Structure 1
Amino acid sequence: MMCRRFLLLLPVLLMLAACSTNNSSKLQHEEFGQTNVFTRSFAGTDQSACEAARRALLSQGYVINDWQKTLIKGRRKYQHDADVHSEIEFNVVCVADSKGSNSTTVFANAIRDRYSLKKSNNSASIGVSAIGSVSLPFGSTDDALVKVASETIPTGQFYNQFFDLLDRYLDSTRYPNESDTDKKDMLLPENLGPTPSPPPELK
């Protein structure tokens, strides 16, 4: 009797276990982790870091949609085959660390949208005075791209390649205002040494 009850409950237990497994797998991409996939720290100012990020994206064929001193947004399109089209939107935010540290944390994330080519048939209508309009099964075919998926790219290697490329451009990139500020600081009176005394008056 007990075995028969167990056999009857077995399918229910298996279904509950499957539901629990599916829910946990769905939450894996929604939890906050301790990894630094989307961030990296660099020496220098936030403006220098974002300028290097802009050049890194441009070098890889991204079109810059929004460009501010500490915010970059770029987009790149891919055509994998005739019916599938993909776009990557890359977002970069540069945040200066504590004042006086001369370091910046760069946050980056990329969203990949996928589009599929859908065909729709348009039937032709003919007006007949006696019975009104009649739709006939012939006409034109329209093709349209329809978004079928959108996901944040989670691959660490993808962001490591971007950060490494940013670092290469950061070595030779300075934000235009920085050099001017350095020159102004060099010309401050306290940096020019003691003021020379005036020449003696001629008698």
Structure 2
Amino acid sequence: MSTSFHLRSLGLALVLAGAAGCSSPKTAIYEHENFDDSGTFSRDYPVSDVAACEAARRALLSQGYIITSSDPKLVAGNKSFQQTGETHLQISFNVVCAADGKGSNHSTMFANALQDRYALKKVNNSASLGVGVLGSVSMPIGSTDDSMVKVASETVSAPKFYERYFALVDVFLPQEVKQAEHIPEKPKADLGMPEPKAAPAAEKVEAPQDTPQPAAAQPLAPPPEAAPIAPTPEPNPEPAPAPTPVTEPAPAPTNPSLPAPTEAIPPLPAPAQ
């Protein structure tokens, strides 16, 4: 009898303890929000808000993010990751740039990333068959549809995630700003960016030692001077032949009864030489 009583008392105590545990209020998740300025999601830059958001946009583009906003002071982008055949992950990045009141060349950048998980869900669709006497009857025949369904959504809060992003934004700041503020140049390989490859230097080809080198060109000798040409003596003109004296015939007598003259006409004197 005592043993049964003790068992009943133990069982009642366990039931009461379980009920008390179920009725105790659980700590809400928002109780962990302290709203302290940890600097995880913000960073100050020595440029204007428009220039800061432009550097933030270039940083996201360099990592494969798709930019979906066109506001000069707001940048929104997303990137997808396929983990397995049935799970999908997407990161939505949001950046807001605002002037911090220190001047036109000072601004604060606020960045946060949202991580969404998707899983493949299969839905069976059954067909309905209508019968005049029995009414509508659902038959187990149909099709199966596969669709991605969002199963989780969480804000990325890892400090190192944002530290790497803000360090990449420093790379895309204007060069004169980095020199004035003494911002060190970080290797792009440490930020996940490929380094530009230098063009290979042309190799110098040396001539083999046994190959005869061409002799230096010798200056050409001046052409010999031409000998003076002696003048050709002009031929002496031959004397013109003396003209042959022409004997004029005697005129025919006009009177046949008169005798013909017997004296000849003397020849003309020869011209003087």
**TM-score exceeds 0.5:** yes
CA offset digits 1:89-132 (Å, max 9, x no partner)? 11101111225362211000011111111111011222223323
CA offset digits 1:42-94 (Å, max 9, x no partner)? 11111111001111111111111112111111111111111111111111011
1:124 to 111, 123, 127: 127
- TM-aligned CA distance change 1:154 to 1:51, over 3 Å: same
Given that 1:84 and 1:115 are in contact with CA atoms closer than 8 Å, whether structure 2 keeps it comes out as yes
Match of residue 50 from structure 2 = 47
Q: Does 1:23 align with 2:18?
A: no
Match of residue 199 from structure 1 = none
Given that 1:123 and 1:136 are in contact with CA atoms closer than 8 Å, whether structure 2 keeps it comes out as yes
- TM-aligned CA distance change 1:173 to 1:152, over 3 Å: farther
| One-letter amino acid matched to 2:162 | Y
2:105 to 102, 113, 126: 102
Gaps of 5+ in 1: 175-203
Q: Does 1:61 align with 2:89?
A: no
Match of residue 40 from structure 2 = 37
Match of residue 141 from structure 1 = 144
Match of residue 92 from structure 1 = 95
Given that 2:96 and 2:111 are in contact with CA atoms closer than 8 Å, whether structure 1 keeps it comes out as yes
| One-letter amino acid matched to 1:89 | S
Match of residue 153 from structure 2 = 150
Match of residue 197 from structure 1 = none
| One-letter amino acid matched to 1:40 | R
1:166 to 166, 169, 173: 169
After superposing the two structures, state which structure 1 stretch, 76-85 or 96-105, moved more.
96-105
Alpha-carbon distance between aligned partners in 2 of 1:150 and 1:55, rounded to the nearest angstrom: 26
Gaps of 5+ in 2: 1-8, 178-273
Alpha-carbon distance between aligned partners in 1 of 2:17 and 2:126, rounded to the nearest angstrom: 50
Given that 2:48 and 2:104 are in contact with CA atoms closer than 8 Å, whether structure 1 keeps it comes out as no
Given that 1:51 and 1:173 are in contact with CA atoms closer than 8 Å, whether structure 2 keeps it comes out as no
| One-letter amino acid matched to 2:97 | C
- List, as ranges, runs of 4+ consecutive aligned residues in structure 1 with deviation greater than 4 Å: 8-12
Q: CA RMSD for the aligned pairs?
A: 2.9
What's the secondary structure of 2:68's corresponding residue? strand
Alpha-carbon distance between aligned partners in 2 of 1:29 and 1:172, rounded to the nearest angstrom: 41
| One-letter amino acid matched to 2:108 | T
The structure whose residues are more often strand, as a share, is 1
- TM-aligned CA distance change 1:79 to 1:28, over 3 Å: farther
Alpha-carbon distance between aligned partners in 2 of 1:27 and 1:121, rounded to the nearest angstrom: 38
| Identity within the alignment, % | 49
Alpha-carbon distance between aligned partners in 2 of 1:173 and 1:117, rounded to the nearest angstrom: 50
Specify which structure has the bigger relative contact order, considering alpha-carbon pairs within 8 angstroms and separated by 6 or more residues: 1
- TM-aligned CA distance change 1:57 to 1:173, over 3 Å: farther
